[in-house]
């Protein structure tokens, strides 16, 4: 089943299809409630009620709501990777500008539409407002592995550093865009795209 968090984020990985579907319902409920009540008011009991599963089913996978939010963030990253990959299927191999557009556009689309994403995204905003380096490094590593073959580049430390700088820069500017406008300020997004193209053009052209 697609978009199930990596087993290391769970107390117990789902084995049967029914168990995987129950985990999906739990994470969907968590995402919806994050939008409705925020992280501080989120509870495992409320998630169980929304998902229509016994509270024991939640604790089978997660020890607390923090672990649940972390698993949601991992699922977001899996879904993001799938979306970028799908977007690039129709692009000309080696077209790094198409890759930049796919990476930025799919992130913006999830930020606007994916439940709970505005609080959790890839795991770097809980507690609310916290911005930690690790999730951006994880995203940069994932993009390096995802795009290196498409770009015809070796996934070495230089490429990982380049993508990390790009991800950190884009993250900061996208946060600014969404502080200025709930849907993302278009001018700031345009400047972000131009900045990414100028920076990556020096390395990938």
| CA–CA dist 200, 205 (Å, integer) | 8
**What pTM was computed for the model?**
0.86
Residues 110 and 181 in one domain: yes
For residues 137 and 46, membership in a common domain is answered with no
Asked if residue 51 is part of any domain, the answer here is yes
Domain containing residue 40: 7-66
Tokens 């229509």 correspond to 52
> How many independent structural domains does the chain possess?
2
d(CA 97, CA 99): 5
Question: Do 46 and 89 fall within a single domain?
Answer: no
Does 2 fall in a domain? no
**34: in domain:** yes
Rounded Cα distance, 53 and 44, in Å:
11
**pLDDT per residue over 100-133, tens digit each?**
999 999 999 999 999 999 888 997 555 555 555 5
**What does the pLDDT look like over 14-42, one tens digit per residue?**
556 787 899 999 999 999 999 999 999 99
Q: Is residue 28 part of a domain?
A: yes
């Amino acid at each position: 089943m697609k978009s199930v968090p990596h087993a290391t984020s769970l107390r117990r990985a789902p084995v049967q299809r029914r168990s995987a579907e129950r985990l999906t319902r739990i994470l969907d409920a968590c995402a919806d409630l994050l939008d409705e009540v925020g992280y501080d008011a989120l509870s495992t009991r409320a998630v169980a009620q929304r998902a229509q599963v016994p509270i024991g089913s939640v604790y089978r996978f997660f020890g607390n709501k923090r672990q649940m939010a972390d698993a949601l963030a991992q699922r977001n990253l899996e879904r993001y990777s799938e979306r970028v990959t799908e977007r690039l299927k129709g692009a000309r191999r080696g077209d790094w500008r198409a890759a930049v557009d796919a990476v930025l556009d799919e992130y913006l689309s999830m930020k606007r539409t994916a439940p709970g994403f505005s609080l959790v995204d890839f795991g770097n905003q809980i507690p609310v407002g916290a911005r930690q380096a690790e999730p951006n490094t994880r995203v940069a590593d994932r993009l390096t592995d995802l795009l290196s073959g498409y770009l015809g580049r070796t996934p070495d430390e230089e490429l990982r550093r380049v993508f990390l700088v790009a991800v950190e820069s884009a993250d900061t500017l996208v946060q600014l865009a969404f502080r200025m406008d709930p849907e993302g300020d278009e001018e700031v997004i345009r400047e972000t795209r131009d900045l990414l193209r100028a920076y990556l053009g020096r390395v990938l052209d």
